[in-house]
A and B are shown apart, each in its own frame.
Chain A
Amino acid sequence: MEHYFQPEIECAPVEKLREIQNKLLPAQVQHVWDNVPYYRKKMQEKGVEPGDIKSIDDLYKLPFLTKADLKEAYPYGLLALPLEDCVRIQSTSGTTGKRVVAFYTQQDIDIWEECCARAIMMTGGTKKDVCQVSYGYGLFTGGPGLNGGSHKVGCLTIPTSSGNTERQIMFIMDLQATIICCTPSYAAYLGESMKEMGYTSDKIPLKIGIFGAEAWSEEMRRDIEKTLGIKAYDIYGLTEISGPGVSCECSEQNGMHIQEDHFYPEIINPETGEVLPEGQIGELVFTCLDKKAFPLLRYRTRDICSLHREKCSCGRTLIKMTRLKGRTDDMLIIRGVNVFPSQIETVLLKNGYAANYQIIVDRVNHTDTFDINVEMTPDMFTDNVGEIQARKKILENGLHSMLGIKAKISLVAPKSITRSEGKAVRVIDKRKI
């Protein structure tokens, strides 16, 4: 049996959804124009005024926002309300000035949590479930978003946050958790750990897994489902737009329904910015229709996917997005953490090495491996093995504190890293997703 959190929206006729969007968009554009000089200037440069945006059909006229805009406008440039009307911030894991800080009013948080509640119910969750939230709590949106969603559904919520696998397993078993929310690679790890401890899938009380914040494959889904004895669902979101729950899979497990009454999606050609028709693959762009504190219009996510509106067996009419095909820039997501090659460069130079390195990412047993080959230099070389290893350890620690995850460093011979057209090949991503 299907469960819905807001069936009047989730299963509304497409015309009704369009009506809601058409009503919200002009008011939102006026709100941004009045309160965000940064975006008003962008509109003026494009020769667009709020009066030109009468419905969703006019959306293409508006300028895009990119990550670079967020950086330039940091921290308050895209804020549309006085700080006294805001009640929370959330932030991304970026650490080199690329950090995104998003602001929320209480209403913004309510909307976000409702989206998470819809997501949980899309996967079959109800108030009878015991929902363990193993995403990190804090600045990261994963924990707080699903925590709020779980409350709204009425689940008994176990806010374990991330890490401490033994304790996670203890709560799952002792409190008979039926839903688990975490990254897919952590779910795989948890599955392996439980297997080692002798818990076969028939003994594990979990039924539903809500996994997001990193890309994963269909193969990985089947594996996790088998070890934990659950149905695993993909959830999508981003701090800039709100957090997890922007879209989520339903019982069909075939594409994620977007909460399009709040977040209007477009697919564009990343080269030209031209809006592409439904079904075509391109860059995903979101417009916040009713978020008030941090209302981004036409924000380029740099995520690659396509949109499809087909009759869904779950009864929802909300448009679906496919799983992510990749990202348009050089950022890597390793074990759910954003890693920029430039951060690694910074640490290498700071510790006396040259910026000659290569990142090799792979996925072994559903967990990302993260290796960095670093070229030895005359300055860092000595005839003493212990000294070289001590310097390597300092480098490893420096990278860990900069990136938030551990990398395995290998020292390699000078000029041994593959160079193409004079430039070193920085990233080798062997993960097959």
Chain B
Amino acid sequence: MSVNQVSVFLENKPGTLNKMTEVLAKNNVNIRALSLADTKDFGIVRMIVNDVYEATNVLKDANFVATFTPVLVYGISDEAGSLNNLLQKFAEADVNIEYMYAFAGQKNAFMIFRVNDTKKAENLLASKGLKSLSQEEVAGV
């Protein structure tokens, strides 16, 4: 099961990221994980939030360009070597990673991956014994 990430377009200037978090705060949207890709004149915020639909709607109302993107989330134990084991499976399955980021939960760590063909990657990795988390599972950790 892939998870929907919220991707948001931001101008690269002071205050724009804060304007976005203000909208999310006002609407009680909790950010579980966040990563920022930036260029000289613009940036893209990628987030895992507790309520993707609510987050996207309130951002659009506030004149942000926001969209869903399917990503794969895998839980790993929070100890040395576990990311290495996970990535080894990606390599074996010949899955190319466009970008990735992470967040640590109470016990486990969670890795978020953006790949070219989500469905295909998910199946390939499943055949290596990796099970990706569902939206509900991510919201629950």
Contacts and interface: CB of A to CB of B under 8 A. Distances in A.
B114 A413 contact: no
Interface of A is mostly: loop
Interface string B54-69: 0000000001110101
Interface bin, chain B: 10 to 19
B7 A389 contact: no
Interface stretch (B34-42, B75-83, B89-97, B121-129): B34-42
A383 B46 CA distance: 8
Contacts, number: 46
A415 interface: yes
Nearest to A411: B42
B5 A381 contact: no
Interface of B is mostly: strand
B114 A383 contact: yes
B126 to A, nearest CB: 23
Contacts of B69: 383
Interface residues of A, number: 17
Contacts of B37: 385
A414 to B, nearest CB: 5
Interface string B1-34: 0000101011100001000000000000000000
B44 interface: yes
Given A381-B9, A383-B44, A413 B39 contact: no
B64 A414 contact: yes
B98 interface: yes
A-B CB proximity, top 7 nearest: A383-B7, A383-B69, A381-B65, A415-B63, A410-B41, A376-B9, A385-B37
Given A378-B65, A383-B67, A389-B39, 5 more contacts: A376-B65, A385-B37, A385-B44, A388-B44, A413-B11
16 contacts: A378-B67, A381-B9, A381-B65, A382-B7, A383-B44, A383-B46, A385-B44, A410-B41, A411-B42, A412-B11, A413-B10, A413-B11, A413-B65, A414-B63, A415-B63, A416-B63
